Every structure is written in structure tokens, then in C-alpha cells.
Structure 1
């Protein structure tokens, strides 16, 4: 595997936190030489389009409201009822005929109580009042509600001190939604407000796009499960949990297959066994990290080469070595995306290529992260011919962004402190403080 220092990076066969087994070296200090030729690399946009093309729009399934949060509505939802379904009181107080309050103060007999939920309330007779609660049906014959604060709160007779206009403090039937109106359109992202509206119009279940099913593979003989003690030469396995969480956050359904053997035959057998186990519930995407560079022990690359997956260098930092295609497994073809092994490279590559593809397949109206422009708080260098994605922190009030950590692809702690990615185009090698850059917001 090639050794790269400076703006370049080594994308080792396995995850590397800067202290694990190394088939190469990533000094990450911004000095040295980059042996990659950017003119021979694949453009970022071209690779992103190829990844997106791997995943078809997901089929429709119907789920209960409780399971619909974060899903994308697949069909228009029309309301079978008006909202409100009946005219009701907007206040605790007294239902009246506005004409009976021409001369105030006035005292009226309280003929009935109308709590919320009552369905058999009597009509309001002229010259009387009904004590009524917020949300209770407006009695037939009433045309206004006097709030309790304008009365003496009497229970048998009530003194009303202020007049009201017809329609005052009344929510009219259909005022919010008319019967038959489309209240949620296909493609709507279902959040708490949207689910509340669906429930209000009587929808107990909704047709949504299925979550893309992703099998995340973690390879490396040096890996140890988090929580287990380390021996010399071992590192805790982090890419698997990180990418599994990223898939879930993107709206997918992830399964982590840990500690896949560092052997081509064993890797292929383990993968195909896992795919066969999902024959009735097929996997949409196999996602790997590591083992994709040019070294002697690149199990992912060796296992997939000649089986429908192609590998290339993409003109970006971090994340140059990438792979994609369709693996010919035991149950047919399945989409494959192979990411670099260094943790920062792996997650940045996921953000750039995989996350938008998953969200688009799931029907999300906004597949990409929110993007804004901000002024750099300090100078920044970038490699010529490669699009750089630097970790950063945004100050929304000041309109500035500050780089977090260096460009090294093993600096996971810096990535964990970042709330954005600073994007520097391929033609730019230096930016001064105060210059404007594109920023991808990671919390959007």
C-alpha cells in the first residue's frame, strides 16, 4: 500500500485510528507529497451519480402511525372528515346567542352543561346560556361563546358583563381542513406535526416508502469489540457501529455483520451466507469499509474484483479510494459500495455518496444535507485537483466557520466535535480568513 504524507492520505485496508496496524502512513500534518494524479481520478459528482444509480426507489409498505416517524409518505392523504369535524368552543365559558347580550350586564339562566366529548347536548333556547368547555360541541341555536373571565362563573344563573359578536370564540366545522382536501402530499417527510395531522383526520396507518436495507460489513483481524480489553496490536472496531448509525440516521435499516475474516474465501462465504439468509427480505445495499487500496492485503478489493464491483480513485480528500457495483451473490445481484478504512474517510465518504443515495431511494424530498455559505475564521490549505471536505464548526450568529482538527483521515475525535463539513473545490489550494466557502450542515 502506498505511503502518502501531506494533503494526501493512506486509505488502509482496515480502520486506523493512528495507532493500529498500518500498511501505510497518514501523517495528516499537511506536509509531504501526494503521489496521486488528480487528472486520472474520477470526479466527485460522477462517483456520486454512480452510487445514486445503484439504488432504485423503494417499494411502498403500510405502517402504523407509531412506526411512521421519519418515513416518507408514498401517496397523497386526503381527509375523509372536516377539521374541526363540528363547530366547537374555543374557550371555557358560556354558549349564548349574541343577540341576547345587546344590553350588558345581563343575567341568564344556565340551562345545561356541555363538557368536551358530550354528544347529546340539547339545543340552546333564546334567553338562556349553556356552560361549555373548550373543545365541546357548540349547541344548536348558539352562535357565540362568552369566556368565563367575563362572567361571574355562575352554575344556575350567570351574570355576563361584556357582549360578544356572532362567531366569537367559536371554531367552525371545516375551518382548518375541508372534507376531501389533501392534507399531506406524497413525498412528505413525516414528523410529529404531520403524524398529528394524520391522526386527526382518522388515519391509523400510512403508506410509506420502505427503508433501504443495508448490510454493513466490518473486516479486520486486528479488530476487537467495543468494551473488550485490547491486546498489543489490536484496536476497537469503530467503523461498523459508526456506519450502522449513519445508515439509520439517513433513514435506512442497517444490520452490522462484524469481524468478517481477513481472508478472501472466508469473506466471500460469510457475505454470501448473510445474503442467502435474507432471501425473503433482500438486502438493498452492501456497505464495507477498508480493504480497497493498492496494498497486498486488500480483502474487500480482492473478493469483489471480477464479481461486478469496480474500484477507482476519486478526486477528493479524505476518501480517495472507492468502489461500487453489483455483487453477484447467491440470490442475485445486490448493490455494493466500498468505502475507505480510515474512520474520517469512511464517514465523510458516506456523507458525500451514500447518505444522499439512501435518502433519495427512500423518497426524501431533500436528499442532500443543508448547504450554506460562511466566512472562514482562519486560513485553510487544500490539495490541488481534489475536492476537500474539512471538518468544521459553524457560528450561525457571526456567519463564520472554523476548521476543526487537521486534514488527517484518522482524526476521529475532530470529526466528533464538528457540526459541518467545509467544502473546498478542486481548483482552490489556499483560502484566507474571511473568504466565503460552502458548508454542509451535519445536524440538518
Structure 2
């Protein structure tokens, strides 16, 4: 049995270098960027009006002009107009190019309209209501780094600089494997000795964060069937996420079968709770990784978020530095195991404060629905005082 820290390092050490692929911009949301994105021109590309009103030369106002004759109208999308003559103005729409010769925009709310003219009824500052060219970014400035998760705001950035087909990291093939004769499909009515499959449902849902649609198989507790089916899966490059069959029971055949199929065991059993029986290995040639999670629902769920999710983010080039939270109440852990405890958090002036959620056992999947993540409580003789800072692994995001 190895420590949680060493187990985590062993998994991260097997990070894959995923190939880049090009996708349509409309299909890029949720993917991870595999290219550097730079500004192809200054942003904004011109001095831009931020209010509807009139564009004037502020020197005219300083010289005493209050009434301004309307010379024209500048709309968004118009080529640049030219303001000429003292005491003249050009009406301007939000988003329009500031006319040549103008340096100030006065909003309509501060104007009195008359025939062919406007009278300023405020004291405008020179340069007000203008978004200067290049004030957001110079041409050539780096806007997005590789490893950035593409969301709606990143889509806007990509579109604004003409990246209609961004390069993103490819998605690994993933197969979900459930084991156990006690499991039946979700739409079946279980017998008293059976339970419905929930672990693979939860893992499939968790994979949607990355746009991964996994294959899925179920294995009966028969070593020959397990070997035959896993041999097929391991014949193609990809990731196996297994749930159950890795403890020390008489019907937990997976560790023996996986090693017989040439999967190199990196470790089996971790000094943590829940999730102690976790098994991790690398297939022949490094083309497969096997994450074999314990079958209890909380153990499977934790192991996915703790190990596989961070491994995948690292393979996407995303540096997951982790989050921290402060304890609302004191905590103890003298077990010698790294404990992961369900909790909810609240944000108090930028600091996360965590309150533990009661859990009966690692089989208590109902507690997952009441929680938002896991607190990492390392073993210590001194305990944790109220307000102590610990690692926070979220699985729900407000």
C-alpha cells in the first residue's frame, strides 16, 4: 500500500501527450485549446464610441462653444467620418468609429436638442465615452494560451480575431467497465439481492464535462469472461475506467486478469479513505491506462475526480493547481490514512469555508447529492482547528 501523495504522483507521471485536432468554432465549447491565440490587430481596432450622443472637439468646448451644429451621423459600421469647423458636431452611435478631428463624446442625456443643433448641458471631460484603439490589446498580444478551457467568453475572443477553426486537444477513447453479478440496468426492477447500475451512470455524466462519450460494457463475475472482454478492449488504444472487482474478495478477479493481459501494475491499494483498493496500471506499449476504482459509489466518484480528472486536465495542458477551503468546524484524523470527507462550501469575501456533510459509509451514494466536493484531511496527531486550510476537490460548481 502506498501513500495518497505517491499514488497521485504515479498517475500524473503517466500523462499523455494528446494530439491536436481542428474543430469548427461552434463545436469548440468545452474543449481545451492546443494553440497560442494572438491579436491579429489592435483591440479595439479603432477609437470606439461607448455612448450614443455627439462627437466634438473638446478644444471647442474649452473655447466657450456650447451649441454645436450637426454636421452628420456616424453609425456603427460606417467608415471614419471627418469633423470639420469649430462649433460643429457629428451624431454618433455606440460602437461607431470616432470621427477624425473629434476627441470627446457627449451622451444625448446631457444635450438639449434644437433645429439642426445640440446644446451641451454638462461639463464633459476630454476623451470621455471613448474606448481607445489598442487599449485592450496590441496587435500580436497573446490572448489565449494552450491548455485554456474554451467557454463562451473564449469563443468570443476566438471569433474576434478570426479563428474560425481552433486547434484543440483530441479526446482520448474511454471505456467504462462495470463489474458484479448484483448489478442490473437502470430501467429494470431489481430483485431483493440486486441493485441498479449507478456508478457508470455517474461516470458517464462526469465525462460530459469534457465532451467525451464513452463506450460501456458490463462484466459478470467470471474470470474467463472478464479476460475475454478486457482483451478486446485493450487491443485498441484508450482509457479503461473500471468500477468494482479490485478488493480482496473471492470474486474480485480484475487485478489478476489485468496483469495476465500484460497491464503493468503501478500500484494497488492506497492509504486513503474512501478508495483504498484503487488499482492503476499501464497497458503494453503505454497505449492503455487502466483506472480500476473500488465499487462503492463514493469511492468510485472520489477516485474519478481525484485521479482521472486531474490526469486528463494535465494531458490537456491545463495546470490544475487545486483549490483550498477553510474548515468551519475543527476536524481530527488520527487514522494514518488520508481521508476525503464530503462537504459543502460557502464563499465569504473571496474565501471558501467548508462544512462537512455526514456520510454513513462509502456506499452512501445519497450523500453525494447533498455535497459539493471533498475535503482532503491528512492524518495528524494535533488535529485541525476551526479555520484551518485544507485541499478542496469540488465536483459541483455554483
TM-score over 0.5 (shorter chain)? yes
Query: Does the alignment pair 1:298 with 2:246?
Result: no
Secondary structure at the counterpart of residue 351 of structure 1: helix
Query: Does the alignment pair 1:349 with 2:303?
Result: yes
**How far, CA to CA, are the matches of 1:206 and 1:337 in structure 2?**
31
Asked if structure 2 preserves the Cα contact closer than 8 Å seen for 1:323 and 1:338, the reply is yes
The residue that corresponds to 2:361 in the other structure is 408
The residue that corresponds to 2:223 in the other structure is 264
The residue that corresponds to 1:12 in the other structure is none
- The alignment covers a number of residue pairs equal to 391
* Alpha-carbon spacing, 1:436–1:163, altered in 2? closer, same or farther (3 Å): closer
Query: Can you list the C-alpha shifts for 1:350-407, whole angstroms capped at 9, x where unaligned?
Result: 23322211111111121x5412332425x65x46321111222334449754332236
Asked if structure 2 preserves the Cα contact closer than 8 Å seen for 1:150 and 1:162, the reply is yes
Query: Does the alignment pair 1:393 with 2:344?
Result: yes
Query: Does the alignment pair 1:334 with 2:288?
Result: yes
The residue that corresponds to 2:84 in the other structure is 125
Asked if structure 2 preserves the Cα contact closer than 8 Å seen for 1:375 and 1:433, the reply is no
Q: How far off is 1:122 after superposition?
A: 4.1
The residue that corresponds to 1:188 in the other structure is 148
Asked if structure 2 preserves the Cα contact closer than 8 Å seen for 1:80 and 1:180, the reply is yes
Asked if structure 2 preserves the Cα contact closer than 8 Å seen for 1:375 and 1:437, the reply is no
Query: Does the alignment pair 1:86 with 2:46?
Result: yes
Moved more, 186-195 or 308-317: 186-195
Query: Does the alignment pair 1:318 with 2:289?
Result: no
Structure 2: runs of 5 or more not aligned: none
TM-score (norm 2): 0.87
* Alpha-carbon spacing, 1:440–1:336, altered in 2? closer, same or farther (3 Å): same
Asked if structure 1 preserves the Cα contact closer than 8 Å seen for 2:306 and 2:393, the reply is no
Secondary structure at the counterpart of residue 305 of structure 1: helix
Query: Can you list the C-alpha shifts for 1:49-84, whole angstroms capped at 9, x where unaligned?
Result: 222223313222222333333333323211111111
1:210 to 170, 191, 206: 170
**How far, CA to CA, are the matches of 1:129 and 1:395 in structure 2?**
53
* Alpha-carbon spacing, 1:151–1:335, altered in 2? closer, same or farther (3 Å): same
Query: Does the alignment pair 1:235 with 2:189?
Result: no
Moved more, 54-63 or 335-344: 54-63
Q: Looking at both structures, which has the greater relative contact order when contacts are Cα pairs under 8 Å and sequence separation is at least 6?
A: 1
**How far, CA to CA, are the matches of 1:107 and 1:152 in structure 2?**
9
Asked if structure 1 preserves the Cα contact closer than 8 Å seen for 2:325 and 2:354, the reply is no
* Structure 1 vs Structure 2 CA RMSD: 2.8
What is the 5 A alignment of 1:236-255?
A: 236-249=196-209, 251=210, 253-255=212-214
Asked if structure 1 preserves the Cα contact closer than 8 Å seen for 2:47 and 2:133, the reply is yes
**How far, CA to CA, are the matches of 1:421 and 1:204 in structure 2?**
39
Query: Does the alignment pair 1:436 with 2:388?
Result: yes
Query: Can you list the C-alpha shifts for 1:168-219, whole angstroms capped at 9, x where unaligned?
Result: 3222221221112222233333333333222222222322222333211122
